[in-house]
């Protein structure tokens, strides 16, 4: 019997597909199909092949810090449009759309908590907000985080995942590179506290060219893309084929740009061990 032009078999198949949506997930790398909760329970890492999917900043705080210890800081700081920038859309309209879509104020979350009982400052890029791009608000929050670390004599941990400087803020965005690095220098010189930089996929542009690769220890996740310009841009510029794996974590480890590659499940004990070694 046809139901509005569809057979009962068509309807049953559609029902099954609807029931399966959100219940199962297929890995883009190895092709295995597992329950969605298997990915979630494994911190968004494929249990079969180990491919690391993006983890939210909020989930990172839960993964790294002692339960219930994280307190977010510097809320309510919002980007403006001093350049009155317009591309395909006005910058204020783009910001409003991103806030509505994500429920976030901007692309950075900072706060403080404890890791194995040790007080730390923690920051995490929120990639789902405009690709984690760094504008004035992101730079201000990172700077304040370094300043709190200096004032309270606490180490700083920053998880970077960004497409780089936010073009809609022009030179004001690029200024954040110098501003954040200056605050990082004060953390080291005035408070003698370490900065642990965690490089996620991707860490590129002005973020990679400033604080992200200036950690006392630089830790990367497996296969993370890390670099200033993307591989295609470089190839088109120099008109040469790049080496296999260029700008991936493993390539950077081999060439001395990162110190450790840590899988997500090992990130908390790895950072905790480093802090114990550096601070006693």
Domain boundaries, the chain: 55-279
Q: Count of H helices and E strands in the chain?
A: 10, 12
- Beta carbons within 10 angstroms of residue 280's beta carbon: 5
55-279 has which CATH code? Answer: 3.90.226.10
Q: Show the tokens assigned to 52.
A: 């690391």
How does pLDDT run across 230-256, given as a tens digit for each residue? 888 899 999 999 898 999 999 999 999
60-72 in b/e form (b: 16+ CB < 10 A) is bbeebbeeebbee
Rounded Cα–Cα distance for residues 211 and 142 (Å): 10
Say how far apart CA 271 and CA 280 lie, in whole Å: 13
Task: Please report the pLDDT score of residue 231 as a whole number.
Answer: 84
**What pLDDT is stored for residue 244 in this prediction?**
87
**Predicted pLDDT at 52:** 97
Report the interhelical angle of 267-279 vs 57-64 (nearest 10°): 60
What tens-digit pLDDT sequence spans the chain (280 residues)?
444 455 555 545 444 444 456 799 999 999 999 999 999 999 999 999 999 999 999 999 999 999 999 999 999 999 999 899 999 999 999 999 999 999 999 999 999 999 999 999 999 999 999 999 999 999 999 999 999 999 999 999 999 999 999 999 999 999 999 999 999 999 999 999 999 999 999 999 999 999 999 999 999 999 999 999 888 889 999 999 989 899 999 999 999 999 999 999 999 999 999 999 999 8
- Report d(CA 173, CA 189) in Å as an integer: 25
State residue 5's pLDDT score: 53
Six token digits for residue 235: 């190839």
Q: What is the pLDDT of residue 53?
A: 96
Q: What is the largest CA-CA distance in the chain?
A: 79
Q: What integer pLDDT is reported at residue 20 of this predicted model?
A: 54
Residue 52: strand, helix, or coil: strand
Check residue 6 and give its pLDDT.
54
Per-residue model confidence (pLDDT) at position 8: 53
Could you give the angle at the alpha carbon of 221 between the alpha carbons of 77 and 277, nearest 5°? 85
pLDDT at 280: 87
Residue 149's closest CA among 73, 97, 201, 96?
A: 73
- Categorise residue 162: left if φ over 0, alpha if ψ from -120 to 50, beta otherwise: beta
pTM (2 d.p.): 0.89
How far apart are the C-alpha atoms of 167 and 237, rounded to whole Å? 21
Q: Tell me the C-alpha distance between 5 and 36, whole Å.
A: 33
Q: Beta strands 156-162 and 118-125: pairing type?
A: parallel
């Amino acid at each position: 019997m046809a139901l509005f032009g569809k057979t009962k078999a068509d309807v049953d198949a559609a029902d099954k597909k609807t029931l399966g949506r959100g219940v199962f997930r297929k890995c883009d790398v190895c092709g295995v199909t597992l329950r969605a909760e298997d990915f979630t329970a494994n911190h968004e890492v494929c249990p079969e092949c180990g491919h690391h999917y993006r983890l939210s900043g909020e989930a990172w705080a839960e993964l790294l810090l002692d339960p219930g210890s994280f307190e977010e800081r510097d809320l309510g700081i919002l980007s403006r449009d001093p350049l009155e920038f317009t591309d395909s859309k006005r910058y204020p309209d783009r910001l409003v759309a991103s806030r509505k879509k994500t429920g976030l104020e901007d692309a950075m979350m900072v706060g403080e908590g404890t890791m194995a009982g040790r007080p730390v400052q923690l920051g995490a890029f929120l990639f789902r907000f405009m690709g984690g791009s760094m504008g004035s608000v992101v730079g201000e929050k990172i700077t304040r985080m370094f300043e709190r670390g200096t004032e309270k004599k606490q180490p700083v941990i920053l998880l970077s995942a960004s497409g780089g400087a936010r073009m809609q803020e022009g030179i004001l965005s690029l200024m954040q590179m110098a501003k954040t690095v200056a605050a990082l220098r004060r953390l080291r010189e005035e408070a003698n506290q370490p900065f642990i930089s965690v490089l996620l996929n991707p860490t590129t542009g002005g973020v990679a060219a400033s604080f992200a690769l200036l950690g006392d220890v630089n830790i990367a996740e497996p296969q993370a893309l890390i670099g200033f310009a993307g591989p295609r841009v470089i190839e088109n510029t120099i008109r040469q084929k790049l080496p296999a794996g260029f700008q991936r974590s493993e390539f950077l480890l081999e060439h001395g740009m990162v110190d450790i590659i840590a899988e997500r499940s090992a990130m908390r004990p790895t950072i905790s061990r480093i802090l114990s070694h550096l601070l006693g």
